[in-house]
Chains A and B, each alone.
Chain A
Amino acid sequence: MNTMTENSTVGYVTDDGRQIGGTIMEMKNITLRFGGVVAIENISFDIHEGEIRAIIGPNGAGKSSMLNVISGFYHPQEGEVWFNGKKRPSMKPFEVAEQGIARTFQNIALFKGMTTLDNIMTGRLTKMKTGMLSQAIWWGKAAKEEEEHRQKVEEIIDFLEIQAIRKTPVGRLPYGLQKRVELGRALAAEPKLLLLDEPMAGMNVEEKEDMSRFILDVNDEFGTTIALIEHDMGVVMDISDRVVVMDYGKKIGDGTPSEVLANQEVIDAYLGVSHD
């Protein structure tokens, strides 16, 4: 439920008729510096509840840094992060996760030796209430709780159509499937906001199509808000509702895919006009 505050704006209706809610996250004048390097310079944008929001830009534009700011890995020197209508204090990543923000990584960060099932199960960590000891001896509440979590995980396995690799160690899986498992782990946390860092990097056309379908289905089925970074412009334009374009740490465009495509600055950034 979105509480109305001064930050919340009214939602909008997409071209294909989906009702998008009010603002769930707002970035206000974010500036992130590493020593003398300015990774992000005074960027503001918002994410509405239920939308698919893409962040694009050439290499080194600061997209991943932006995602890391949202997920609490980096702390910006200036600016404010508002989530669910409240200003967010400086948080550790696990606290951000507990707030309902889950993510996947550009370079897959799974436990290679563990099975698909166990990996996705780790995504339930923030939801587990029983202590380590009772879980270890699998007794009483802990056993019951695990069964509930397992059911949730099985639903995700079914959703992502990875039943056949349920018991396979993820290190043995091809890249495309590992990406899918990682998405599964993020989904296991039942996030309000899902951050995807280049979910389709290194995939072939067919795998990209599958992944796009899963992203759309997650959004449609669970109503999850999604923010994603992606290089494949075709994919971005096809699946996202609104796009933020970054270049050299600055925001150079923001709007629907067609608006962004018509933006001269964006075209210049992508076609490589020299920066004076």
Chain B
Amino acid sequence: MAQSDAVLDSIPALLARNAVTFGDKAAYREKEYGIWQSWNWKEAAAEIEALALGFLNLGIHEGDFVAIIGRNRPYFYWAMVAAQSVGAIPVPLYQDANAEEMAYVLGHCGARFIVVEDQEQVDKVIEVQDQLHQFEHMIYIDPRGLRKYDHRRLHQFSHIQDQGRAAREEFMPELQARTARLNMDSTCVMLYTSGTTGKPKGVVLSNRNVIVTSKNSCEFDNLTENEEVLAYLPMAWVGDFIFSIGQAYWTGFCVNCPESADTMMTDLREIGPTYYFAPPRFFEGQLTSVMIRMEDAGRFKKWLFRKYMDVARKVGPAILDGKDVSFGDRLSYFLGNIFIYGPLKNTLGLSRVRIGYTAGEAIGPELFEFYRSLGINLKQLYGQTEATVFITQQPDGEVRADTVGVPSPDVEIKIEDNGEIYYRSPGVFEEYYKNPESTADTKDAEGWVATGDAGFIEKSSGHLRIIDRAKDVGKMADGGMFAPKFVENKLKFYPDILESVVFGADREYCVAFINIDLTAVGNWAERNNVAYASYQELAGHPEVYNTIQAHIEEVNKSVAQDEMLSGCQVHRFLILHKELDADDGEMTRTRKVRRKIVGEKFNDLLEALYGGKSEIYTETEVTYEDGRKGSISATLEIRDVAVVPVKQKVAAE
């Protein structure tokens, strides 16, 4: 496509282009009242214009921050682009954040306008508004339950649009002037990082970051205006911004929004996206539910499933990569596609997926192969908010479970002596908002950014491999290398294990906390007549302990084979009495474990693991969804695990 970059230097400029070029093509769909409602690019542009005029009517200034809090809905995407059109900066927030977390972010950016979904979010903001000195107007989409609220600073989304339309004559020149002032250097969006450590930081991305990255990544995968995506990942996450705004506006493809968080699976099936992104845990959940349902199927169906899944495992990935496969195998695969893969892909909502990505965490090789063997082109990418997502990604035909691919277009990569990965690209963020020290720590004068991850480039293929977070890579007491994530990922590949946290820095040996997967283990319990009343009771069951112990012993064998990391075998473990939860601060909102906090919170358990005890009584404070606190207590069993003796100790460098 011949496109002149000179004109297309902001998201509103891309919108104007799309409204002309793809005017009648669907831009947004949302399922509501059981039907997919849709807006074409022309209609979307009109909605956005009305809202932008409404913003001007409310007195928005250039450079103001507009916070967006809600689940993926067209209205919020419009609000972001409308904010950009009037020279303001959209700041999407995680909608499940509690009031305290929200207060910090809203206060830090000094948002004057807040766009929210419904009463729940309105209440949250009202709760903290005393701490927000710059906050002026709140706009809500769903008026339900809000009739009696004080409407001096509270407005309904559609009313703001109506006021905007009514004042079109008056404000149109101002809107056009402001949109015209945008360029590649103006700020496109500010996204708060989930903050595995400490307070969230506001990552400022310019139009250049977003537009160049979107252009490059669309060309890398040949994305066209005919793609369909399902927008279901948090709007505050950089990936959703790039997929649902950056790439969607660059190519003009359609963004589909689910009816509600609970209906996502049904909506996925109805839309059948062609371009799809999901974190590994999502694929894992899907596979677990498929396997559970297969367990309940009749014997013939089970046999058919097993037979053809064997065929798929053998030749599926090769066929997907376009390699040579014998005629007989092709025929079996063809039949399998009719009986098993086709219907299965349809059930999963993945029949039309042309390009699927997974990222955020390492994906289990078996899990990865399962999807690829079905003929789903699932690939991995490695990215960060600070890079406007893309650092490396896997090209078609070079897909493997253990690498994250080659550098994305225009991205340079270097590995420092300590193993930390650095990159430089047009997507490199401008700065951390109001935080020059952190900016300087992360980005050097030449534009190289530290990822905080340790890894190496595989010589044979040129692909990047990630070992762990650089700061988590430590030393054991004997000087051996300690890479907890490496072991945890191997553990998490078992469907029974939802989370694991491995400790061992500066210690003699490694120990682990385990969270079991209630769906998988619960199903096993049902099948084997094991009665349980709660997560805690099931987690403490001796049979469950036996299974987990067997898993850990297998992992130990596999860890022992890695020369550098053989010291990381798990010697002792326990199964935690509660699931790690973001509400308790043990995980980030993107569900990454906060190792340090978990270590401090369960220090008594950690001491018991190293103290040689065989059980430990503990009490833990928990926070319920509505913010109330309670406590749970339990006596946890601690088990020793067989380890593979390491013959010669590997000397540390």
Give A residues with C-beta under 8 Å from B. 16-18, 150-151, 154-155, 157-159, 161, 163-164, 166, 206, 209, 213, 216-217, 220-221
Contacts and interface: CB of A to CB of B under 8 A. Distances in A.
B145 interface: yes
Interface of B: 32-35, 144-145, 147-148, 259-260, 262-263, 266, 625-626
A220 B145 contact: yes
A52 B148 CA distance: 17
Given A157-B34, A158-B33, A164 B263 contact: yes
Contacts of B626: 206, 209
B33 A155 contact: yes
A229 B260 CA distance: 32
A11 to B, nearest CB: 17
Contacts of B262: 163-164
Contact of B33 (A16, A154, A164, A217): A154
Contacts of B32: 158
Contacts of B625: 206
B-side interface mostly = loop
A158 B143 CA distance: 13
Contact of A151 (B33, B148, B259): B33
Nearest to A151: B33
B260 A163 contact: yes
Contacts of B145: 213, 216-217, 220-221
B122 to A, nearest CB: 14
A112 to B, nearest CB: 21
B74 to A, nearest CB: 16
A161 B260 contact: yes
A163 B148 contact: no
Nearest to B264: A164
Nearest to B260: A163
A208 B33 CA distance: 25
User: Closest 5 CB pairs between A and B?
Assistant: A164-B262, A154-B33, A164-B263, A154-B34, A163-B259
A272 B263 CA distance: 48
A249 to B, nearest CB: 38
A166 B260 contact: no
Contacts of A18: 148
B260 A217 contact: no
Contacts of A209: 626
Given A154-B33, A154-B34, A158-B32, A163 B263 contact: yes
Nearest to A152: B33
Contacts of A166: 34
A164 B144 contact: no
B503 to A, nearest CB: 35
Given A155-B33, A164-B263, A217 B144 contact: yes
Nearest to B258: A163
Contacts of A164: 260, 262-263, 266
Residue among B32, B34, B35, B263 with most chain A CB within 10 A = B34
A155 B144 CA distance: 12
15 contacts: A18-B148, A150-B34, A154-B33, A154-B35, A155-B33, A157-B33, A157-B34, A163-B260, A163-B262, A163-B263, A164-B262, A206-B626, A213-B145, A220-B147, A221-B144
Nearest to A167: B266
A251 B204 CA distance: 67
A220 B145 CA distance: 7
Nearest to B120: A213
A150 B262 CA distance: 21
A209 B33 CA distance: 24
Nearest to B265: A164
Contacts of B34: 150, 154, 157, 163, 166
A163 B262 CA distance: 8
Contacts of A17: 148
B265 to A, nearest CB: 9
A166 B626 CA distance: 27
Residue among B33, B260, B266 with most chain A CB within 10 A = B33
A113 B412 CA distance: 60
Given A151-B33, A157-B34, A16 B260 contact: no
Contacts of B266: 164
A213 B145 CA distance: 9
B111 to A, nearest CB: 27
Contacts of B259: 163
Contacts of A151: 33
Contacts of A159: 144
Contact of B148 (A16, A150, A161, A213): A16
A213 to B, nearest CB: 7
Nearest to B261: A164
Nearest to A150: B34
Contacts of A216: 145
B624 to A, nearest CB: 9
Contacts of A213: 145
A158 B259 CA distance: 9
Contacts of B148: 16-18, 220
B30 to A, nearest CB: 12
B276 to A, nearest CB: 21
A220 B146 CA distance: 9
B648 to A, nearest CB: 57
Contacts of B260: 161, 163-164
B505 to A, nearest CB: 40
A16 B266 CA distance: 41
Nearest to A16: B148
Nearest to A154: B33
Contacts of A16: 148
Contacts of A150: 34
B522 to A, nearest CB: 15
Nearest to A216: B145
A229 B246 CA distance: 54
A158 B118 CA distance: 13
Contacts of B263: 163-164
Residue among A159, A209, A220 with most chain B CB within 10 A = A220
Nearest to A221: B144
A158 B31 CA distance: 11
Nearest to A220: B147
A4 B147 CA distance: 28
Contacts of A158: 32-33
A211 B148 CA distance: 19
A17 B260 CA distance: 33
A158 B32 CA distance: 8
Nearest to B34: A154
Given A151-B33, A161-B260, A217-B144, 20 more contacts: A16-B148, A18-B148, A150-B34, A154-B33, A154-B34, A155-B33, A157-B33, A157-B34, A158-B33, A163-B34, A163-B262, A164-B260, A164-B263, A164-B266, A206-B625, A213-B145, A216-B145, A220-B147, A221-B144, A221-B147
